[in-house]
Chain A
Amino acid sequence: MKIGKTKINPTKIICLGRNYLDHIKETNAPIPSEPVFFAKTLNTLVTDNKPIIYPKILHENQEYNRVDHEVELAIVIFQTCKNISAELVNDYIRGYTIFLDLTARIMQKNDRNIHLPWYRSKNFDTFGPIGPRIVPCNQIKDPHNLSIELKVNSEIRQSSNTKHMLFKIPEIVEYLSKYITLVPGDIIATGTPSGIGPILPGDIIEASIENIGIIRHEVILEGD
């Protein structure tokens, strides 16, 4: 796949949950003592302002009819890594981009409350918009001091700064690479700030991060 002008072949997408203090407060979740991570699969990825497809099986079911936006700073892995220590992490990062971790919120809550996996609610096709480009590390002085914002129909819904991340990028990659071998192109999304909320067919979602740019996606109902 291509993100901007860069061709990458990710094998996995790993996302952090509960990694912004403002978001943790808003969801009444406990502050994690170590990174909480989960997977999205590659069928979620969508680039170049292509539409986000709102699944019919959610839209037609009152019990599940809510999809939320979550804007996140993502990193793309540069070279294979396992057991990397935090101080070396920058050598293993190709660059930064914007990721939208779309989530079928009610389905996620129901599944979590009965101890089921956090999977299906996060992994509908097109539930992972990414882009608009990968900005190399040397062009972003401090990835932990970038304003991060999301608008729905031009109205600001999320507005924060990556300095509020609980676990910083070096710790995150060190932690993940203790578990998993990361390979070139793999995507790691670093969690979302407060202000998550629902989107609906017809909405225009704009997610932006300072020094990276903006991605813009229309939400359409499946089959339309």
Chain B
Amino acid sequence: MRIGYKEVNPTKILCLGVNYTDHIEETKLEVPKEPLIFPKMLNCLITDGQPIIYPKLLYNNPKYNRIDYEVELAFLIKERCKNVEAKNAFNYIMGYTVFNDITARKMQTKDITSNKPWFRSKSFDTFGPIGPRIVTDSEIGDPHNLKIELRVNGEIRQSSNTKYLLFKIPEILEYITRFFTMEIGDIVATGTPSGIGPVNPGDIIEATIEKIGTLTNRVILEGGTE
């Protein structure tokens, strides 16, 4: 796939949950002692300008008809790695981009409370917009001091700064590579700040991170026209 001008071939997408101090306060969740990791599948990925498809099986079911945006700073892996030490982490990062971790919220809540996997609610087709481009290390400066924002139909819904990340990028990469070999192009999304909320068919979502740019996607109903 292409993100901006860059061709990447990810083999997996790993996401952090509960990783912004402001989001933890908002949800009254416990502060995690170690990073909380879940996967999204590659069928989620779409790029800037492509529509997010609101699945009919959610839309038509009052038990499940809520999908939420979650803007996140993502980084991509530069070379195959395992057991990376935090101090070397930046050697393994190709660059940074914006990721929107779309989530079927009611389905997720129900699955979590019944001890089921955090999976189906996160991995519908198009539930992982990414882009608009990959920005290198040298261009970004400090990835832990970037404004991060999300708008729905022009209205600000999330507005924070990556300095509120609980686990920072070096710790995240050290942690995940103790478990999993990461491959070139693999995507790691670092969690979302406070202000998460629902979207509906017809909405325009703009997710912005300072120095990277804006990722814009419209929500359409499955089977509907763009």
Contact = CB atoms under 8 A, between A and B. Distances in A.
Given A117-B38, A120-B37, A17 B117 contact: yes
Contact of A119 (B37, B57, B82): B37
B125 A181 contact: yes
A39 B179 CA distance: 15
A171 B128 CA distance: 26
B2 interface: no
A41 B11 contact: yes
B123 A115 contact: no
Interface in A115-174: 115-120, 123-125
A190 to B, nearest CB: 16
A180 B124 contact: yes
A188 to B, nearest CB: 12
Contacts of A183: 43
B208 to A, nearest CB: 27
A92 interface: no
Contacts of A11: 11, 41-43
Interface residues of B, number: 31
B115 A112 contact: yes
Given A39-B123, A181-B125, A117 B183 contact: no
Contact of B57 (A12, A14, A55, A178): A178
Interface of B: 11-12, 14, 17, 36-39, 41-43, 55, 57, 82, 112-113, 115-120, 123-125, 178-183
29 contacts: A11-B11, A11-B42, A14-B41, A36-B116, A37-B119, A37-B120, A38-B119, A39-B41, A41-B11, A41-B12, A42-B11, A42-B12, A43-B183, A57-B179, A115-B115, A116-B118, A117-B17, A117-B36, A117-B37, A117-B38, A119-B117, A119-B118, A125-B82, A125-B180, A178-B55, A179-B55, A179-B120, A179-B123, A181-B43
What 4 A-B pairs come out closest when comparing CB atoms? A38-B117, A117-B38, A118-B117, A117-B118
